[in-house]
Structure 1
């Protein structure tokens, strides 16, 4: 059982850094529930 099992996640990615879908793909098997995932541009 991992540390994220049963947790709810909000993923905020950056256009020039790590995008939201990439974080979502990495955390998909963690047992956490991904409630929201987005990629934004912070200028």
Structure 2
């Protein structure tokens, strides 16, 4: 069990940085529930 086990995550990625789906792929086996994941453009 990790520190994120049982937690709910909201992932907000950036287009020119780390996109949401990449964070989601890294955290899918963490035991956390990914409630929302999106990639936005902050200009």
The count of aligned residue pairs is: 43
1:5 corresponds in structure 2 to: 5
1:12-31 map, 5 Å: 12-31=12-31
Q: Normalising to structure 2: TM-score of the pair?
A: 0.99
In the TM superposition, structure 1's runs of 4+ consecutive aligned residues that sit over 3 Å from their partners are: none
CA distance, structure 2, for counterparts of residue 10 and residue 21 of structure 1: 12
* Residue 31 (structure 1) shift: 0.1
Higher helix share: 1
- TM-score, length-normalised on structure 1? 0.99
Quote how far apart the aligned CAs of 1:14 are.
Answer: 0.1
> Secondary structure at the residue paired with 1:24?
helix
* Structure 1: stretches of 5+ with no match in the other structure: none
